[in-house]
Amino acid sequence: MTVGRPRATVAAMNPYRPGKSATQAEEEHGISEAVKLASNENPYPPVSSVVEAVAAAATEINRYGDHGALKLRHALAQWLGVDTEQIATGCGSVGLLQQLFLAYVDPGDEVVYPWPSFEAYPVDVRITGGVEVAVPLVDHCFDLDAVADAVTSRTKLVVLANPNNPTGTAVHVERIKTLVKQISDEVLVVIDEAYREFVTADLGDPITDLLFDHPNVVVLRTFSKAYGLAALRAGYGVADSSVVEQIDKVLIPFAVNHLAQVGAIAAIAAEGEVQVVIGRLTDERDRMVSALRFDGWEVPDAQANFVWLPLGQRTNEIFPELERQGVVVRPFPNVGIRVTIGTPAENDRFLNTLRGL
């Protein structure tokens, strides 16, 4: 029995299902010491200066935080070398994404993105009643010519996760520039760089190499992944000031909470220390890719903090068996599994479990 009259588009939606926690897997399968490599989290705690800043700010949470997150926006603008008016902050970068949809997508408007990609995109399409135009990947990579061809006069947004989640592949900013030049400048091109800090290939930088000449480009980044602040919910965007003005209107009051603002400011100051952690993770990622390829698995280039195993139908057997043996990864039924880079011991656990199947 459905009470009330939910919007048809919402009633038809599946709820968001986050990755299973290690504890949930342990209880479900009656095992101990499960490891979670399912949500692309940083396996290491944040650096101590960030933890201390957040802990100290906990005494201030009786008051509302700064809705505009002005101090954080200033710090981000200085860090990135842009104007404060070009900076948006959101409740994670998924919050900013939803703001972009709410501000730009009317029912019936089209949103184009390569697919498979980040599972939040179709959710936002449904929330806003937009029309999804999913452009298939080719060899696990974006086909940007096909993306350009898919853009019509009804298209409001093009969304590119670079590196892409779940495949981990990435494109150079020059390729995106070619796309941007092929399509109308009335279309916003959103580059979701949640994993940018893990990229070791030379990809250029859309803020310096693209945004200046193409104000319809929006760059989204986050403190959730490389900076290890997933639970704080601090994401940021760099865009034309008019885009920032529109999306700020649909930000839920105080959604960028006080602790998130304080933690993000401290994280910027700790960039050098965080780089060391990132280096550890990218070394482990490269080790995982080599080991998997050595074992005979097809693994595309990995530029984020996860590896992609395009297992096709075999996903449906291999995923549950890994989980039964205490290794929780992210399945994409009939397509593949995504495995987050954990600590060296966790990664070995995954590799050895896979070898034993």
The residues of the shown chain that bind ligand PLP, judged by CB under 6 A, are 40, 92-94, 118, 161, 165, 192, 194, 222, 224-225, 230, 235
Distance CA 48, CA 69 (A): 23
Q: Which is nearer to ligand PLP, 165 or 325 (CB)?
A: 165
Q: Which is nearer to ligand PLP, 190 or 292 (CB)?
A: 190
Q: Which is nearer to ligand PLP, 192 or 323 (CB)?
A: 192
User: In whole angstroms, how close is the CB of 167 to ligand PLP at the nearest point?
Assistant: 11
Q: Which is nearer to ligand PLP, 118 or 198 (CB)?
A: 118
User: In whole angstroms, how close is the CB of 222 to ligand PLP at the nearest point?
Assistant: 3
Q: Which is nearer to ligand PLP, 194 or 238 (CB)?
A: 194
Q: Which is nearer to ligand PLP, 22 or 170 (CB)?
A: 170
SS (H, E, C) the chain: CCCCCCCHHHHCCCCCCCCCCHHHHHHHHCCCCCEECCCCCCCCCCCHHHHHHHHHHHHHCCCCCCCCCHHHHHHHHHHHCCCHHHEEEEEHHHHHHHHHHHHHCCCCCEEEEEECCCCHHHHHHHHHCCEEEEEECECCECCHHHHHHHCCCCEEEEEEECCCCCCCCCCCHHHHHHHHHHCCCCCEEEEECCCHHHCCCCCCCHHHHCCCCCCCEEEEEECCCCCCCCCCCEEEEECCHHHHHHHHHCCCCCCCCHHHHHHHHHHHHCHHHHHHHHHHHHHHHHHHHHHHHHCCCCCCCCCCCEEEECCHHHHHHHHHHHHHCCEECEEECCCEEEEECCCHHHHHHHHHHHHCC
Q: Which is nearer to ligand PLP, 19 or 326 (CB)?
A: 19
Q: Which is nearer to ligand PLP, 97 or 151 (CB)?
A: 97
Q: Which residues pair with 340 in a beta bridge?
A: 306
User: In whole angstroms, how close is the CB of 196 to ligand PLP at the nearest point?
Assistant: 10
Q: Which is nearer to ligand PLP, 94 or 328 (CB)?
A: 94
User: In whole angstroms, how close is the CB of 115 to ligand PLP at the nearest point?
Assistant: 13
User: In whole angstroms, how close is the CB of 54 to ligand PLP at the nearest point?
Assistant: 16
User: In whole angstroms, how close is the CB of 200 to ligand PLP at the nearest point?
Assistant: 18
Q: Which residues pair with 155 in a beta bridge?
A: 110
User: In whole angstroms, how close is the CB of 216 to ligand PLP at the nearest point?
Assistant: 20
User: In whole angstroms, how close is the CB of 123 to ligand PLP at the nearest point?
Assistant: 12
User: In whole angstroms, how close is the CB of 162 to ligand PLP at the nearest point?
Assistant: 9
Spatial neighbors of 66 by CB under 8 A, at least 6 apart, are 258, 261
Q: Which residue is nearest to ligand PLP (CB)?
A: 92
| Residue carrying the six token digits 């993000």 | 264
Residue 216 · residue 55 · CB < 8 Å: no
